[in-house]
Amino acid sequence: MAKDRLGPRREKEGETIPKTYTLFGKVLIAMARLEIQGISQGFGEVDVLRDVTFDVESGEIACLLGPSGCGKTTLFHVISGLASPRAGRVLLDGEDITGRPGHLSYMLQKDLLLQHKRIIDNVSLPLVLRGVPVEEARSRAAELFGVFGLEGTERRWPSELSGGMRQRAALLRSYLFSQEFMLLDEPFSALDAFTKADMHTWFLDVAERMGTTALVVTHDIDEALTLADEVFVMRGNPQAGEPTSVVGSVRIGCPRSERKAYTLTEGFLESKRRLLSLLG
């Protein structure tokens, strides 16, 4: 069986073989299937989301694509448990986590690194907050600095790092909060085009090596097609009385290792046309 596959390997319809990864010297199984079932949400008399439904399979990267103001961040607040929906459920591996924060890591657009803490202490903070002794937390976090391309930055201050390196540190911190599932809200939007392209390649490599399951919000079609195994399209205009729903999806039939070359192919252009059609 080919080793370079998108997400989990499938033997046959309905059967999924989970990916494995090594963390802190242990071989672990990447199991984090997310189900969004009929989520509706609003504020006052404004209906923002209506019957949003989709699944993210274990080991895959999915993107939520939609214009600014359509409710992507509102949906992320519901998925993360920071807000309870008016209707619907959020399931993680079959467990109902609706309105229960702490099960998924959530990274915002800005890296939000603490300026008064060195990078090693910023990154290891989730472990410390869970009760791991500081020195042990630092040691555990340091094991992953090589994987995340952060070698040599342990004693640096956030202000000494480039934007791309700060995002790597923020992503590692989010990963240590929850290895099961990562929610990333436009994590690369503040970067210049060249740094963003490098970060896309780097993130795909890390996700493949670590067995990461992730849901990424973006309003950039090219970014969605580069990062995702499946792109879900959100359409609506809540301020005009049109609640947002997921209106369709496009699967990316290209191995992650070939995504950079994929952007120059007819398949990429066809997927882009399909997404534009769904966006209306």
Judge whether 1 lies within some domain.
Answer: no
Mean pLDDT of 189-202: 87
Domain CATH for 37: 3.40.50.300
Domain identity same for 272 and 148? no
pLDDT band at 18 (very low <50, low <70, confident <90, very high): very low
Domain identity same for 241 and 191? yes
Domain identity same for 85 and 200? yes
Is residue 12's pLDDT more than 70? no
Q: Each residue of 219-268: pLDDT tens digit?
A: 999 999 999 999 999 999 999 999 999 999 999 989 988 888 898 899 99
Return the pLDDT at 31.
Answer: 58
Return the pLDDT at 163.
Answer: 87
Structural domain for 43, as ranges: 28-104+180-279
Domain identity same for 97 and 188? yes
Instruction: State pTM to two decimals.
Output: 0.82
pLDDT band at 107 (very low <50, low <70, confident <90, very high): confident
Return the pLDDT at 264.
Answer: 87
Last residue of a domain, one of 125, 159, 177: 177
Render the chain in DSSP notation, one character per residue. --S--SSSEEEETTEEE-EEEEETTEEEEE---EEEEEEEEEETTEEEEEEEEEEE-TT-EEEEE--TTSSHHHHHHHHHTSS--SEEEEEETTEE-TT-TTSSEEE-SS----TTS-HHHHHTHHHHHTT--HHHHHHHHHTTTTTTT-TT-TT--GGGS-HHHHHHHHHHHHHHH-SS-EEEESTTTTS-HHHHHHHHHHHHHHHHHHT--EEEEES-HHHHHHH-SEEEEEEEEGGGTEEEEEEEEEE--S-GGGHHHHTTSHHHHHHHHHHHHHH-
Domain identity same for 262 and 123? no
Give how many domains the chain has, as a whole number. 2
Judge whether 186 lies within some domain.
Answer: yes
Return the pLDDT at 5.
Answer: 29
Judge whether 20 lies within some domain.
Answer: no
Judge whether 43 lies within some domain.
Answer: yes
Domain identity same for 218 and 249? yes
Domain identity same for 196 and 68? yes
Mean pLDDT of 61-72: 94
